[in-house]
Structure 1
Amino acid sequence: MTKPAGQGGASSGEATPRSHSLAALVTLAVCAALAFTGFVALGTWQVQRLQWKTALIERVEQRIHADPVAAPGPQRWPQMTALSDEYRRVSITGSFLHELTTLVQASTTLGAGYWVMTPLRSADGSSADGSIVLINRGFIPAGPAGRIAAPAAATNAAPAAQAAPAVTVTGLLRMSQPGGGFLRQNDPLNKRWYSRDVEAIATASKLSRVAPYFVDADAASASAHAAPGESAADRPIGGLTVVSFPNNHLVYALTWYALALMTAAAAFWVAREERRTRRAAGEAGRRRDQDSENGRTD
C-alpha cells in the first residue's frame, strides 16, 4: 500500500547533511598545520628576541652608569662592534680641530637643530699616534637661534696640529651612522648632513686615521670646552643622548601564540562539525533505509 503524500515521507523532504570530500579535508588539515607551526615558530622567535633585548638593555644600563674608560685606540678599531662597545662611557684627551666642525641635522627634546661634530686629535697614551675621534659636542637650535657658523672648507692637506689647548672629553661611545637620516641621504658636496656618518664626514673634511665611532659628549664636557670666540651661553648643549630600546617582543609573542591557538581551535571546530555531519548523514541514510523497508512491508 502506498502512503499518502505528507504521511511518513517527511524525512524524504529533509536536506541530507553533506560532508566535505577527503581531498578538501586533507587540504584544510595541511593548511591548518602549516599555519599553526608558523605561528608557533614566530612566537618562539619573539621570545628569543625578548631575551636578547632584555639582556641588551641590562648591558647598556651597566655601561652608561659605569666609570669612564679610555676611548679605544687604533689597535682596537678592527674588532669594535655595536654589540660589544656602543654606549660605553669613555674619556679621551686631545685638541679640537674647530675649523673642521660639521653640523648634522638633529631632532631632540629641545626642538630641531644640529649636532656639532668636531674632530679631536687624540694625544693620550692610547692614541699617541695622533689619530682622530669625532666628538659630538652637543646640540644647537636651528634657524636664527643657531649660534655656530657653517664650518670652513677643509684644505687639501691634512690639518696640522692645532694651537688649541688639550682637553679631556667624557661621554658615550656611539657607532657610525652611515647613509643618512630623516628619509634623506647625506649630501657632503653641499654640506647637508642628516646622520653622523663618521667615514663620510672624515672624507669630506680630508681627515685620515679617524676612529670608526664618535663620542657623544656629556653635559659637563660640552659646557666646559668652548670653541674660539664662543661664549659660555653659546656652547652646544651636551648630554642629550637618548638611550631607549623599544621592547614590544612580549606583545608580539603573545599575538603569534594567540593566532596559533585560534588556528588550532578552528581546526578542532571544523573536525567536530565534520564528524557531526557524517553522523547525521549516516542517521539520515539509516532512516531512508528503514522507510524503504516499511514501504515494501506495507
Structure 2
Amino acid sequence: MRSIAATKKKLGLSVVFLFLPCVATFGLGTWQVKRRDWKAELLDYKRKRLEQDPVPLALAMVDDTSSSSNGESALEYRRVVCDGVYDEEKSIFIGPRMKQLFGSSQRGYYLVTPLLPASSSDMQPAVLVNRGWVPAAWREDFEKGVVTPTLDERFHQDKIKTGTWWRTWWKGKPTMEISPAKGAVTVCGVVRKSENPSMFVPLNVPEQGQWFYFDVPAMLKAVGLPENSPYIEAVGSSPGTDDKITFPVPKEIEDFVRTSLMPNDHLTYAFTWYTLSAATTYMAFKRIREKPVKPLKNFR
C-alpha cells in the first residue's frame, strides 16, 4: 500500500512539472494580449488629445484643473500655446539621445529651457520647455556662449572628417542654422510629465549638470521654477532632407504616439507564447501516455 501511495505521489508531481511550462507560457500569451489592448487604448487616447486644437496654456490649466482632481494628469498630451522669453542661462541638456538625420544616426541632447512671462501682467505662468534635439557640438558651443551660425558649420566639418556618408550623399557645402531665441517667442507644445527610465539608465546628477532622463520635479528645482510649473515639449514639422536644419529640432506629433512596442508587436509575442504553450502541452500529454518500459530480466 505504501508503495502504491508513493507511486501516485510521484506521478502527481511529475504531472505538475510537465504541465507547469504549458500554464506559464499560456499565461504570458494572455498577458501580451491584455498589454496589446491596453497599448491600443493608450495610443488612441493620445491621438484624440493631440488632434484637439491648441489652446492658450493659461486657459487649458484653468479648464482641466476645474474638471479633474489632478490637473497635471488631465493636461497631459494637450497641445498648448504659450508666450514668453527664454532664460537661456538656466538651460539644461538631457541625454545623450540618438536621432536620425540625413540617413545617419547622430548623437546629441534635448535642450530644456525655462520660458518666463514677457511681462508681470501676463496671466501665463513660467513654463519648462523641451525645445528639441541638438547635436553634441551644438551643446559644446552653446555652453561656451558661442551662438553663431559657424557653430553648426563646425558640426558639419566634423562629420565630413569622421564619416563617409557626407561624402557620398552631399557634394556641396552643407549649412545649418541656429534657431534665434532672443526676445519674446511663441511656443506650441504638448504637456508632458516625467519619464519612467529603465534600470539601465544612470541616475541624474543635477549638482554636476548630468541629466540622463526627464525628471520634471528635479528639473524645475534645478532651474528655480515653482514645483507646480507645467512642462511642455515643443512640436514642429519634420526637418526634411534638404541642406538646412534649424536647431533645436523639435519633436513631431507622430513622436508622441510612437513607442518601442506597438500593439501589433504584442500580438506577435502573444502568438509566440501560445505556440510554445501548445507545443509543451502536446509533449506533456505524449509523455504521460507513454507506457513505462519494463526492466529486462537478468539471464545467466
What TM bracket, shorter-length normalisation? 0.5 to 0.7
How far residue 38 of structure 1 moved from its aligned partner, in angstroms, is 2.8
1:238 and 2:229 correspond: no
Deviation of 1:196 (Å): 2.5
Structure 1: distance between partners of 2:246 and 2:288 = 74
The correspondence for 1:36, drawn from 11, 19, 22, is: 22
Q: Does 1:198 align with 2:216?
A: yes
User: Within the alignment, does 1:23 sit opposite 2:9 as a pair?
Assistant: yes
Aligned residue type for 1:95: V
RMSD over aligned CA atoms reads 3.8
Q: Give yes or no for the alignment of 1:103 onto 2:98.
A: no
Distance 1:27 1:116 in 2: 59
Contact 1:178-1:198 at 8 Å conserved across structures: no
Q: Where do 1:1-298 residues align within 5 Å?
A: 21-71=7-57, 72-73=60-61, 76=65, 79-80=70-71, 85-105=75-95, 106-110=97-101, 111-122=106-117, 128=123, 131-143=125-137, 146-149=140-143, 166-177=184-195, 183-211=201-229, 213-219=230-236, 235-239=247-251, 242-243=255-256, 244-245=258-259, 246-247=261-262, 248-274=265-291, 277=292
Report the Cα offset of residue 167 of structure 1: 3.3
Q: Which 5+ residue runs of structure 2 have no aligned equivalent?
A: 1-5, 146-181
Q: Which moved more, 1:29-38 or 1:70-79?
A: 70-79
Offset at residue 69 of structure 1 (A) = 3.1
Structure 1 residues 175 and 91, CA, compared in 2 at 3 Å: closer, same or farther?
Answer: same
Determine the C-alpha separation between the residues in 2 that align with 1:139 and 1:166: 21
Identity rate, percent: 30
Specify whether residues 238 and 144 from structure 1 end up closer, same or farther in structure 2 by C-alpha distance, changes over 3 A only: closer
Amino acid across the alignment from 2:61: G
TM-score (norm. length: structure 2): 0.63
Task: Give the residue type in structure 2 aligned to 1:56.
Answer: L
Amino acid at match of 1:120: L
Secondary structure class of the residue paired with 1:93? strand
Q: CA deviation at 1:170?
A: 0.6
- Matched letter for residue 203 of structure 1: K
Residue of structure 2 in register with 1:161 after alignment: none
| Contact 2:54 2:79 survives alignment (8 Å) | yes
SS of 1:119's equivalent in the other structure is strand
8 Å contact 1:100–1:118 — kept in the other structure?
yes
TM-score (norm 1): 0.64
SS in 1 for 2:192: strand
* Change beyond 3 A, Cα 1:189–1:136: same
Which ranges of structure 1 fall in alignment gaps of 5 or more residues? 1-19, 152-163, 223-231, 285-298
Summarize the Cα distance change of 1:52–1:234 in structure 2 as closer, same or farther, 3 Å threshold. closer
Q: Say if 1:203 and 1:262 are closer, same or farther in 2 by CA, change over 3 A.
A: same
SS across alignment from 1:40:
helix
Q: Given residue 142 of structure 2, which amino acid in structure 1 is its aligned partner? A: I
Q: Is the 8 A contact 1:63 1:87 kept in 2?
A: yes
The aligned length equals 233
Measure the CA separation in 2 of the matches of 1:209 and 1:41. Answer: 42
Distance 1:180 1:271 in 2: 43
1:179 is displaced (CA, Å) by 7.2
State which structure, 1 or 2, has the greater radius of gyration over its C-alpha atoms: 1
